[in-house]
Amino acid sequence: GENVEQHPSTLSVQEGDSAVIKCTYSDSASNYFPWYKQELGKRPQLIIDIRSNVGEKKDQRIAVTLNKTAKHFSLHITETQPEDSAVYFCAAKAGGGKLIFGQGTELSVKP
Amino acid sequence: DGGITQSPKYLFRKEGQNVTLSCEQNLNHDAMYWYRQDPGQGLRLIYYSQIVNDFQKGDIAEGYSVSREKKESFPLTVTSAQKNPTAFYLCASTEWGNENLFFGSGTQLSVL
């Protein structure tokens, strides 16, 4: 079955710097890769996703890249702000299969 | 907090006791899921249901049971067989053909 590894587990950046979180997956049939953000005490919410027919997707300060050959995908946050502080989860899903989550990254943006 | 409601927010379980976590959604979503969240381990799938009266085991189903008698409701029972039940439990739902999980606000279960 699918296995998703996420790194780093914690990440601290200065406000205005960029943050990058990386995930690798094991199932080459996986074709959907969402990222969820969970603020302290709140529910996880989808912030961006990418499908296997696309190499990169951007939404304002957030971008996701996918390397199908290497089976890894990354979340990039530019010009970080204190409100970006949260736990971020990557996930991967094969067609018709279950969504498997990474272990999470706790991002801290210091003002 | 409209859409998907979990209750209670906090729950305490005594030794040997079964407890039930409630999950109700008014989004008319077909599929519903239960995840367990432990620090440093991400979200792990316990059970999921894609249609009423049908459900499948996830990756960590042992010690848990579910039912799906109504489309709106997907309760999770943590049985006494679950030896390490302390965790944050998240319920989620998806619309048919849409892979975006919509989460509830969660239930924190602790053992007395």
What are B12-33's pLDDT values in tens digits?
988 889 999 999 999 999 999 9
Question: How far is the CA of B24 from the CAs of A34, B2, B21, B53, B81, in angstroms?
Answer: 24, 10, 10, 15, 25
In chain B, which residue's Cα lies nearest the Cα of A46?
B100
Check B103 against A44: CB less than 8 A apart: yes
Instruction: Give per-residue pLDDT as tens, A50-94.
Output: 998 889 999 999 999 999 999 999 999 999 999 999 999 999 997
B61 touches chain A (CB under 8 A): no
A93 touches chain B (CB under 8 A): yes
Predicted local distance difference test score (pLDDT) of residue B10:
95
Does residue B45 carry a pLDDT above 80?
yes
Does residue B34 carry a pLDDT above 90?
yes
Q: Which of A42, A89, A98 has its CB closest to that of B42?
A: A89
Residue B17 identity (one-letter amino acid): Q
Nearest CA distance, A34 vs chain B (angstrom): 8
Report the pLDDT averaged over residues B38-43. 86
Predicted local distance difference test score (pLDDT) of residue B41:
81
Does residue B54 carry a pLDDT above 60?
yes
- DSSP-derived letter for residue B27 is S
